[in-house]
């Protein structure tokens, strides 16, 4: 049995649910139940049939709706592994840090190409960090305070999952000086990121090896599964760039969040319109059951 969860960024009506049911039926699947998960916002359609074909049929529904199709029995996950930049926060930290050095445009272009999978991630990271050599260390904390904003839905997602017994890992190709406070604020249990080398109060232009790359992201996912005895089907990975593809592919539910094309193609599901709270509805959790301390 599969479930297709429809989440509207604006308003979800009976017409939207009927259209989804018709699209599922049109591929030869059988809709067995329709449930309004949250009035005007989210609905579940349970069905038997081809989940891949159903996802494809539902992807192009009109309006600002996101649809996630998955096995009904394993929809509530026990492990989430997430990217940070442009996923759990709204910015790319290295681009904003570069702005304090007056070279944002130069570095942002490389970041964009790396996220699209056009450049080797580790080489691109080293090249960008080298351009930041001699930047005052104080600019890191200033950048974090002035530029970092938590992605809407991030706190609700992670804190609600944690409150229901899930383990949460933030694994970033960015830097610990950003990731550790971000991870603590959102509610992650573990944070993994790169370490910027500092010498005499300025950036040395290097990062400590080994670099947290796509292989490390997948390793953290698989390591947490093994350590905690969590089946693959009970895991979720969410990210937006090419560097996230291995962990997206390795998870039970790999999610592309407002993502680059290669990440979208690799994912089991994608969020194009809504925020990270879509992933709570996808697990069958309505807003009345979200962690009360989570405000974003």
pLDDT in tens, 242-258: 999 999 999 999 999 99
- Looking at the structure, do residues 253 and 163 belong to the same domain, yes or no? yes
Cα gap 19→7, rounded to integer Å: 14
Output the domain CATH number for residue 23.
3.30.70.260
Q: Are residues 81 and 133 in the same domain?
A: yes
pTM: 0.94
Separation of alpha carbons 187 and 247, rounded Å: 20
Distances (CA, A) of 149 to 13, 127, 140, 153: 32, 26, 15, 12
pLDDT digits (tens, 9 = 90+) for 178-199: 999 999 999 999 999 999 999 9
Active site residues: 83, 85
What pLDDT is recorded for position 156? Answer: 98
Q: Please say whether the dihedral angle defined by the alpha carbons of residues 271, 276, 278 and 281, taken in this order, is positive or negative.
A: positive
- Residue carrying the six token digits 């539902």: 58
Same domain assignment for residues 24 and 115? no
Q: Judge if 31 and 175 occupy the same domain.
A: no
Question: Are residues 171 and 33 part of one domain?
Answer: no
Last residue of a domain, one of 24, 54, 73: 73
Strand partners, 31: 47
Asked whether residue 6 falls in the same domain as residue 123, the answer is no
Domain boundary among 73, 93, 116: 73
Residue at which a domain ends, from 34, 49, 73 = 73
In tens, the pLDDT along 129-184 reads 999 999 999 999 999 999 999 999 999 999 999 999 999 999 999 999 999 999 99
pLDDT at 296: 47
- How many Å apart are CA 177 and CA 195, to the nearest integer? 8
Say whether both 91 and 237 belong to one domain: yes
In the predicted structure, residue 295 carries a pLDDT above the cut 50: no
Contact present, 191 and 179 (Cβ < 8 Å): yes
CATH classification at residue 146 = 3.40.50.1000
Distance CA 29, CA 47 (A): 7
- Same domain for 195 and 55, yes or no, is no
CB 230 within 8 A of CB 79: yes
> Do 155 and 33 belong together in one domain?
no
| Nearest residue to 69 (alpha-carbon basis) of 138, 6, 156 | 6
The pLDDT of 275-295, averaged and rounded, is 89
pLDDT confidence tier of residue 30, bands split at 50, 70 and 90: very high
Residue range 196-253, pLDDT digits in tens: 999 999 999 999 999 999 999 999 999 999 999 999 999 999 999 999 999 999 999 9
Each residue's pLDDT tens digit, 36-74: 999 999 999 999 999 999 999 998 776 789 999 999 999
Does residue 201 share a domain with residue 257? yes
Q: In the chain, how many domains are there? A: 2
Query: How many Å apart are CA 162 and CA 103, to the nearest integer?
Result: 39
Tens digits of per-residue pLDDT, 75-133? 999 999 999 999 999 999 999 999 999 999 999 999 999 989 998 899 999 999 999 99
- The Cα–Cα gap between 229 and 77 comes to 13
How far apart CA 114 and CA 121 sit, in angstroms, is 6
Nearest to 135 by CA among 90, 84, 208, 197: 197
Q: Check whether residue 166 and residue 251 sit in a common domain.
A: yes
Domain that holds residue 242: 76-296
- Both 2 and 129 in one domain: the answer is no
Phi and psi torsions of 78, nearest 5°: -110, 0
Residue burial 106-122, b: 16+ Cβ < 10 Å; e: rest: ebbebbeebbebebebb
């Amino acid at each position: 049995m599969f479930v297709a969860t429809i989440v509207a960024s604006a308003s979800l009506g009976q017409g939207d649910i009927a259209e989804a049911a018709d699209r599922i039926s049109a591929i030869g699947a059988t809709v067995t139940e329709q449930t309004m998960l949250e009035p005007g916002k989210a609905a579940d359609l349970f069905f038997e049939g081809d989940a891949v074909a159903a996802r494809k049929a539902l992807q192009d529904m009109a309006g600002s709706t996101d649809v996630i199709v998955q096995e009904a029995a394993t929809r509530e996950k026990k492990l989430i592994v997430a990217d940070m930049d442009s996923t759990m926060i709204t910015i790319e930290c290295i681009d904003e840090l570069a702005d304090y050095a007056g070279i944002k445009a130069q570095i942002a272009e490389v970041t964009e190409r790396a996220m699209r999978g056009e450049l080797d991630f580790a080489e691109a990271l080293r090249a960008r960090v080298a351009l930041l050599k001699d930047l005052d260390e104080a600019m890191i904390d200033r950048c974090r305070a002035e530029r970092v904003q938590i992605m809407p839905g991030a706190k609700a997602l992670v804190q609600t999952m944690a409150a229901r017994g899930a383990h949460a890992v933030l694994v970033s190709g960015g830097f610990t000086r950003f990731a550790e406070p971000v991870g603590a604020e959102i509610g992650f249990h573990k944070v993994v990121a790169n370490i910027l080398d500092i010498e005499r109060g300025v950036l040395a232009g290097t990062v400590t090896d080994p670099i947290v790359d796509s292989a490390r992201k997948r390793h953290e996912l698989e390591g947490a599964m093994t350590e905690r005895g969590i089946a693959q089907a009970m895991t979720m990975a969410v990210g937006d760039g090419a560097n996230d593809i291995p962990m997206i592919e390795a998870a039970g539910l790999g999610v592309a969040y407002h993502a680059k094309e290669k990440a979208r193609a690799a994912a089991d599901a994608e969020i194009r319109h809504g925020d990270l709270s879509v992933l709570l509805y996808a697990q069958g959790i309505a807003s009345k059951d979200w962690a009360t301390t989570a405000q974003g």
